[in-house]
Amino acid sequence: MGDGFVRLRISEAERRQAKHDIRCVEDAAIELLRNSRDAGATRIYVASSREGNVRTLTIADNGSGIPNHMQLRVFDARVTSKLDTMLVDRWGVHGRGMALFSIRENALSARVVSSGIGMGCVIQIAFDVRNTRERADQSTWPEVTGPDTKHPGIRGPRNIVRSCVEFALESASQCNVYVGLPSEVVATMRRHALYQADYRTATNDDAFDESIVLVDRPGQACDARDLAQIAANMGLEMSERNAHRILRGEIAPLKNVLDVVGATERGGGKRVARMNGRQRVLPLSESERAEIGEAARDAFARIAEHYYVLPAGMPSVRCSDGRIVVSIPYADDD
């Protein structure tokens, strides 16, 4: 255009804007969490690990999923599923179709590991932290302070876990968020699957059920090799030794992040029993269901031997009209 002026192509303008949209790894974490929430997920798992200068985030959810033919195209500019539902939250406008494009422009790699309509989604992103920075302190959890309001004060480094806590506070009525190492995330997924009503663990004679939502598939594993393979298929690589540790209960499942920081008690994630007819139905969290199930299993184990049976798997805990129903599977003691 003369005198040093040019008119950028749309693609180049979008690329430059995308580079600015994601300034650090924590920005990417928030964008991925927002995507999962807007896909209707009620459980979002964030697996975070670092090797050398590479930070890897694997976000898995039980949302609506991405059809096969769109799993590459979702990283293109202006591709969105929110034609009529653009949202505005504390992080600004969401639904422009630029979040995943911006992440890809800043990341070493970005891919949909696995997904499908109604199956949830697993997305994995890797960053070179020399180019896309992250907070130096990634191990410190934030401290929640202030009054019992929806947005209590938060102190601590603005790292990945703080991003997850802030998001969970904003979205407490919609979803639970869990963050940890890949092996901890797999242990949590397995625990949640096994505590669902009518969920059955596979046996060696069973074919793998691909109709099960992705984040519940660790519950199908009948041995450590199966569990390690299922995890690898979700981008959650771990050793068979760690799979054995999960099955033995040596790797504890994660609590949701609001329970970790005590925000549930403060009111940030307060849950209110809903009314079903004239009875209260308690909205128990996964950790609360797990606590009830473990107590029931331990109580049953003490008397099971008198009847020549053994507990067979984890009890399921279900809330019904004015009651909590615990189902304890058992088998003959051979």
- State the average pLDDT over residues 230-246: 95
Domain range annotation of the chain: 10-180, 188-247, 274-332
pLDDT band with cut points at 50, 70 and 90 for residue 238: very high
- Judged by phi (left if over 0) then psi (alpha if -120 to 50, else beta), residue 210 lies in alpha
Contact present, 119 and 61 (Cβ < 8 Å): no
Question: pLDDT by residue (tens digit) across 119-147?
Answer: 999 999 999 999 999 999 999 999 887 65
- State the average pLDDT over residues 218-240: 94
Domain at 10-180: CATH code:
3.30.565
pLDDT of 321 reads 58
Question: pLDDT by residue (tens digit) across 8-61?
Answer: 455 654 554 545 568 899 999 999 999 999 889 999 999 999 999 999 999 999
Q: What is the DSSP string of 17-61?
A: HHHHH--BHHHHHHHHHHHHHHTT-SEEEEEEEEETTEEEEEEEE
pLDDT of 190 reads 94
pLDDT band with cut points at 50, 70 and 90 for residue 89: low
Q: Which residues contact 133 (CB under 8 A, 6 or more apart)?
A: 23, 24, 25
- Judged by phi (left if over 0) then psi (alpha if -120 to 50, else beta), residue 2 lies in left
pTM summary value: 0.74
pLDDT of 314 reads 78
The residue ranking higher by pLDDT, 6 or 296, is 296
Percentage with pLDDT > 70 across the chain = 74
Question: pLDDT by residue (tens digit) across 141-199?
Answer: 998 876 554 556 788 899 999 999 999 998 888 899 999 999 999 999 999 998 764 45
Q: Cα separation of 197 and 46, whole Å?
A: 24
Question: pLDDT by residue (tens digit) across 60-70?
Answer: 999 999 889 88
